[in-house]
């Protein structure tokens, strides 16, 4: 039997605890949204400026529409989760919520879930859009396991996996 080199690797049901502070976000989704938004803004603005038979109001409405479209895609790219020594900050589309580690009982990412859910000590569940398996499933699973490991080691989680 060969001796292992380096630290032991976590098994499939456990995750290595990341160094704090750490930010989890759907990077690929964010890149796609911001790239498409910038491209569409550029195209719509160029069309507005190149069409000769448009008046100033019509040009402005084209550019305003492009700005609204870019704003919506920027809003959709906002979600993230920031974990530090004192707790977790969950940034979703329009809301930000700060949680102490003790408030998080469990981190859930079940098959078919669009994103992670946190079971909280007040009996509610908080969606965490910053970890979503849509485009990068393996990355989301790894992030969910890392957040679960942090919650279990820093909080009062009810289950240890």
List the domain boundaries for the chain. 30-76, 79-154
For residue 14, the model assigns a pLDDT of 55
Mean pLDDT by 10 residues, the chain (161 residues): 41 67 93 97 97 96 98 97 96 97 95 94 96 89 95 70 43
Tell me the pairing of strands 116-120 and 104-108: antiparallel
CA–CA distance, 148 with 161 (Å, rounded to integer)? 9
| pTM: predicted TM-score of the whole model, two decimal places | 0.80
Question: Span 79-154: which CATH code?
Answer: 2.30.29
Q: φ, ψ for residue 127 (rounded to 5)?
A: -70, 140
For residue 4, the model assigns a pLDDT of 42
**Is 25:33 a contact under the CB 8 Å cutoff?**
no
Cβ atoms < 10 Å from Cβ of 31: 12
């Amino acid at each position: 039997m060969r001796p292992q080199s380096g630290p032991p690797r976590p098994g499939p049901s456990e995750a290595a605890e990341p160094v704090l502070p750490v930010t989890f976000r759907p990077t690929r989704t964010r890149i796609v949204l911001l790239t498409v938004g910038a491209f569409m803004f550029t195209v719509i603005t160029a069309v507005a400026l190149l069409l000769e038979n448009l008046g100033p109001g019509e040009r402005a409405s084209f550019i305003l529409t492009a700005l609204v479209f870019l704003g919506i895609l920027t809003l959709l790219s906002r979600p993230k989760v920031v974990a530090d020594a004192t707790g977790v900050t969950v940034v979703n589309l329009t809301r930000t919520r700060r949680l102490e580690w003790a408030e998080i009982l469990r981190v859930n990412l079940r098959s078919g879930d669009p994103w992670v859910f946190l079971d909280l000590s007040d009996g509610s569940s908080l969606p965490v859009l910053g970890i979503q398996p849509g485009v990068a499933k393996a990355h989301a699973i790894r992030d969910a396991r890392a957040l679960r490991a942090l919650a279990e080691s820093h909080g009062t989680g009810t289950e240890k996996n």
